[in-house]
Structure 1
């Protein structure tokens, strides 16, 4: 590693952290009504908002749908190093990163997605957006998105490895949430999850109806605790009346 690389690592990351802190300071001085949902999320702690919402003793059994490169898995492990985490990542390259990153820990990496039914699907891959939903196009690019075949298991098949009670489910799957949430509800799995964090994505003209349908499913068993619209929202299992 050269001097330039060392400088970039030591000072580049520090500069990025400083810029984020400065931006957050400005956001805290801005009236809430003038902030977008993503600005409010950043002001309120960004991803730490998710992890701080659940007590450590309620982070024992965790499902992460959309493992990507493992930052969310790492966040839940930091919350409870003894947590049993299962993460689902159908893109093989990312699943390999997860396997390498969490080798030797109590993290089960499943190199498939979870949906309504089992089978092979075609995913588009562009930058960091990977999705099987036709409405997701990824960031603008001069090159068309690549396509890959990935494997999906049905909720019924994947759910055989799940405990009867799940503490946390995190769902960030680029439009696949509109299939997964109804499938979880239909299989009776949604009501077995105490804390659910979901990021809804824009998939085109049907987005509003898809979000409404998904929230209706969640509302049958959960209460919405907080919501940064189309960024992240948190649902907690309703207490028995």
Structure 2
């Protein structure tokens, strides 16, 4: 990191209370869960269906398949990353790549080209085209019923996908959800709050670090807190 970047970070820590609070939450998350995407689930069984929504390079899918012997479906709309995932798991039956996102309706995405921060909500810099498929149609096509665990890191797409899952009742099929909400504007705080309120009708939040990671378990899941 450059001296300028270090000074900029120091200045934000000194002058921005919200940034200081976020840094404190991030340190607490790292202490509890480590620096990587959470991938530890009690009660997940071999053969369970797991969804990696926002696959990037496929590392999380690889870790889940190796640790739990589950069947992982990876959704990644960015063409460069989707190709990498398809090549990585070409000889595997336990990891199934899908070169598109899932959301409320079929659509075309114009994505920023920013590695694991690539987003349809950021317009600066180079772009790439991807696709979204209607999540209800995808679930019907693949016969998804019970989803043992889901990782969702889709750079703002959660504000479309989660309400769609809730509104059409598919959310009831998800036993464990680990989601990263993203904050691109102040309005995202209310959007997140509204989704969490709706999600709480079927699921319980078992741990939460706002706008970092949080995990929800279905209320009917054995051992889940009421």
Short-chain TM bin: 0.7 to 0.9
Q: Does 1:149 align with 2:129?
A: yes
State the secondary structure of the residue aligned to 1:200: coil
Q: Does 1:96 align with 2:76?
A: no
CA displacement at 1:163 relative to structure 2: 2.1
TM-score normalized with structure 2 length: 0.81
Q: Aligned residue for 1:192?
A: 173
Matches within 5 A, 1:5-44: 36-44=24-32
Give the gaps of 5 or more residues in structure 2.
1-20
State the secondary structure of the residue aligned to 1:57: coil
C-alpha distance in 2 between matches for 1:34 and 1:88: 28
Q: How big is each residue's C-alpha offset from its partner over 1:148-184, in whole Å with a ceiling of 9 and x where there is no partner?
A: 2211101122112142111111100001001100011
Task: Describe the shift of the 1:100–1:178 C-alpha distance in structure 2 as closer, same or farther (beyond 3 A).
Answer: same
CA displacement at 1:58 relative to structure 2: 6.9
Which of residues 136, 144, 169 in structure 2 aligns to 1:163?
144
Task: Describe the shift of the 1:132–1:35 C-alpha distance in structure 2 as closer, same or farther (beyond 3 A).
Answer: closer
Q: Aligned residue for 2:42?
A: 54
C-alpha distance in 2 between matches for 1:223 and 1:129: 28
Task: Describe the shift of the 1:48–1:79 C-alpha distance in structure 2 as closer, same or farther (beyond 3 A).
Answer: farther
Query: 1:59 touches 1:76 (CA, 8 Å); kept in 2?
Result: no
Q: Aligned residue for 1:230?
A: 211
State the secondary structure of the residue aligned to 1:108: strand
State the secondary structure of the residue aligned to 1:180: helix
Task: Describe the shift of the 1:34–1:110 C-alpha distance in structure 2 as closer, same or farther (beyond 3 A).
Answer: closer
Q: Does 1:87 align with 2:67?
A: no
Query: 2:37 touches 2:60 (CA, 8 Å); kept in 1?
Result: no
Q: Give RMSD over aligned pairs.
A: 2.3
Task: Describe the shift of the 1:157–1:44 C-alpha distance in structure 2 as closer, same or farther (beyond 3 A).
Answer: same
C-alpha distance in 1 between matches for 2:159 and 2:76: 17
Moved over 4 A (4+): none
Aligned residues: 200
Query: 2:44 touches 2:148 (CA, 8 Å); kept in 1?
Result: no
